[in-house]
Structure 1
Amino acid sequence: MGHGGNVIDELVTDHREVEELFTKIEELPPGHKDRKTYADQATIELVRHSVAEEAYLYPAVREHVAGGDALADKELEDHAQAEQIMKDLEGCDAGDAEFDRLVGMLMSEIRSHIADEEGNLFPRLRASCPPEQLDQLGDKVRQAKKTAPTRPHPAAPDKPPANKLLAPGVGMVDRLRDALSGRGKLE
């Protein structure tokens, strides 16, 4: 991912890409091996997206939006729940009985989170944050996604500065593991 535009446009495009992966999962029959590959691809994109939001979007929400602390805290809670589901899903194959339950929970959680961000948080941020700053945040988010982890790390810090310091190193290790294992690649 990395599309250009302000932070809201960037993140909405990410949301659409994840929804496309969810649709691919739903279109395949239970147990089909490609469902795991698409779930891994969704996890990779969601983790990168979440790390970038936690590093740049939510601090901006805290700074610019009235009631931003409560909004950002709720979003971080949503991320923590989704990240735990992704961590549990990581250990399942498409044929495992638990896979369908977990992927269903993940899709429900993420779809609810997306609806909340796009219907509530993004309009409020757009109304209260200068356009130049939204553009700068878009650039920062794109940069963060390039070095972000690709695997869920539920115990990792989710607030600056610790998350900004640790994410690139963890991301490098994750990308190496993905390259060696072929994770997220269709056969």
Structure 2
Amino acid sequence: MAANGSNAIDILKADHREVEHLFAQFDAADGDAHAQAELASRIGQALAIHAELEESLLYPRLLKTEKGEEEVDLVCEATVEHGTLHGLIADMNGRDPSDPMVKARVVVLKEYVKHHVREEEKELFPKVEKSDLDLDAIGAEMQELRRSLESQVDGGAGGTLIHVTEVSH
């Protein structure tokens, strides 16, 4: 998603734009169960990878370097939001895309993501950019971890992180 040499914030913002684009494609595919199933899977995979990057490489370091109550609260809230997102993604796994609950979960997921992105980009990321964290080094680690996670999704160990099953009628 992000270009080589990007810092951590650039990578995460690029992820946000990509997921927003996938949600728009999902909305545009209304009535096409096959396309929506594929897009729901792609949304779930993109969010799962994005969350792993933040949870593994950014949030713990921010908590170690920033002792301000506001920063700690923002990271804790983001972590709770990730838990909710993981639950919604897991609930879509293996479902018939014609099930109205799949679309409902994607709609709720979209609203959660919109809220999460707004908080991160307006509140958390500006604090991260002012911190002593080496965002270029973290960005390089994120790119390496992303490659590893994507290779698992692309048919390595574990297959896909999420798959909405298409059921023919």
| 1:125 corresponds to | 128
Matches of 1:56 and 1:9 in 2, distance apart? Answer: 14
Matches of 1:31 and 1:135 in 2, distance apart? Answer: 41
Matches of 2:100 and 2:123 in 1, distance apart? Answer: 35
Per the alignment, do residues 69 and 172 of structure 1 end up closer, same or farther by CA in structure 2, a change over 3 Å counting? farther
Contact 2:97 2:103 in 1 (8 A): yes
| 1:159 corresponds to | none
- Secondary structure of 1:93's counterpart equals coil
Offset, 1:149: 7.2
| 2:64 corresponds to | 63
Matches of 1:63 and 1:172 in 2, distance apart? Answer: 33
Tell me whether 1:73 sits opposite 2:76 in the alignment: yes
Offset, 1:94: 2.1
| 2:146 corresponds to | 145
Q: TM-score, normalised by structure 1?
A: 0.76
- Secondary structure of 2:157's counterpart equals helix
Matched pairs, number: 157
| 1:3 corresponds to | 3
Percent pairwise identity = 25
Match of 1:86 among 59, 65, 89: 89
Q: Which runs of 5+ in 1 are unaligned?
A: 151-167
CA deviations 1:111-166 (Å, max 9, x no partner) are 11111100100001101235xx010010111111122379xxxxxxxxxxxxxxxx
- Secondary structure of 1:102's counterpart equals helix
Matches of 1:28 and 1:107 in 2, distance apart? Answer: 15
What RMSD, in angstroms, separates the aligned Cα atoms of the two structures? 2.2
